[in-house]
Amino acid sequence: MKTKLLFLSLLLTSSIALSQVMAGQVDDFEDGTVQNWVIGGAAGPDDMPMNVSDGGPNGAGDNFLTYSSNGMNGMVASKMVIFNAGGSSQWGSNYISEGIIAIKMDVNVTINDLNLRVAFQGSGTRICTTNAVAVAAGSGWTSITIPISPADFTVISGSSSVNDALSNVNAMRILSNDTPAWSTAVNAIEATIGIDNITASTTLSTQDVQVQNDFEISPNPASSKLNIKLSNALDNANVTVYNVLGKKVYSKSLSALESSIDVSNWNSGVYLVRVSNDKQTITKRFVKQ
């Protein structure tokens, strides 16, 4: 009897350990499952996030997670919110002791632009990252970093400190909203997101924080000429411009840090300007008058 009790105790201890967040852990979805990422409410199987076996950021054969929100206010799956919670969640426990200061992931957004944030619940308090990472629809797979040091959060509800919440996390959410929010305050939006390689990172480089500032476009809006100014981090880059339907309208190698594009003959509307080299890809929105 004692042997059985000892075995059960060891089994329970192992189960608990496996459910704790660890520095450097990655959800890469190569096991063919959704790795505990779900949505709430009265969602049925067709509403839930799904594992796709092909077409991730590494191309053919690379699994990733996908989820679509319908934007129908008050209906199931109306908001861009997925979460990972419960005793089997790999994203619970103590982020402070593990030294985790950022969540990194690869994302692919379509239909509408998203303002991505990370939110946690712990010690009876709900917190959400103060600053969002904007990802343009149609920009393809993009690597993003969301800082999660205590100073990066806004308290949504509860009386515990941000440090206490991060030391005792029992639910993690990835969501899109214009302002920090939890569930009921998140706005409905129609969008589809692909997510891969969700990583608990202990590093946060300057490049990660300032990735959106690695090139500038001006004037914006413009009617005749679009100027592109690159930082030194984007040397040997290519520029590609797409219209809102995803059709390529311009492509060129950039041999200088400053260049111009004649847009006088382009149709008026919104375009996506993508600049990339062998290290990163960044997309910004441009309006042609």
Ordered per-residue pLDDT tens for the chain, 289 residues: 434 433 334 333 333 334 689 988 999 999 999 999 999 888 999 999 999 999 999 989 999 999 999 999 989 999 999 999 988 899 999 999 888 999 999 999 999 999 999 999 999 999 999 999 999 999 999 999 999 989 899 999 999 999 999 999 999 999 999 999 998 899 999 999 999 999 999 886 544 444 444 688 899 889 999 999 887 767 778 898 887 666 789 999 988 889 999 999 999 988 888 888 776 667 777 889 9
Burial of 56 (0-12, 13-18, 19+ CB in 10 A): buried
Tokens of 271: 């375009």
User: What HEC string does the chain produce?
Assistant: CHHHHHHHHHHHHHHHHHCECCCCCEECCCCCCCCCCECCCCCCHHHCCEEECCCECCECCCCEEEEEEECCCCCCCCECEEEEECCCCCCEECHHHHCCCEEEEEEEEECCCEEEEEEEEECCEEEEECCCEEECCCCCCEEEEEECCHHHEEEEECCCCHHHHHHCEEEEEEEECCCCCCCCCCCECEEEEEEEEEEEECCCCHHHHCHHHCEEEECCCECCEEEEEECHHHCCEEEEEEECCCCEEEEEEECCCEEEEECCCCCCEEEEEEEECCCCEEEEEEEEC
Q: Which of 233, 109, 112, 115 is nearest to 175 (CA)?
A: 115
Furthest-apart CA atoms within the chain: distance in Å: 83
Task: Give me the amino acid identity at 208.
Answer: D
How do residues 68-83 score in pLDDT, each as one tens digit? 999 999 899 999 999 9
Q: What are phi and psi of 208, to 5 degrees?
A: -65, -45
pLDDT attached to residue 244: 64
Residue 122 near residue 112, CB atoms below 8 Å = no
Q: Which of 209, 101, 88, 87 is nearest to 162 (CA)?
A: 101
pLDDT attached to residue 274: 81
pLDDT attached to residue 3: 41
Q: What are phi and psi of 164, to 5 degrees?
A: -65, -40
pLDDT attached to residue 233: 67
Q: CA-to-CA distance for 62 and 282, rounded, in angstroms? A: 22
Residue 273 near residue 217, CB atoms below 8 Å = yes
Between the two ends of the chain, the Cα-to-Cα distance in Å is: 79
Q: CA-to-CA distance for 286 and 275, rounded, in angstroms? A: 13
pLDDT attached to residue 225: 94
Q: CA-to-CA distance for 155 and 159, rounded, in angstroms? A: 9
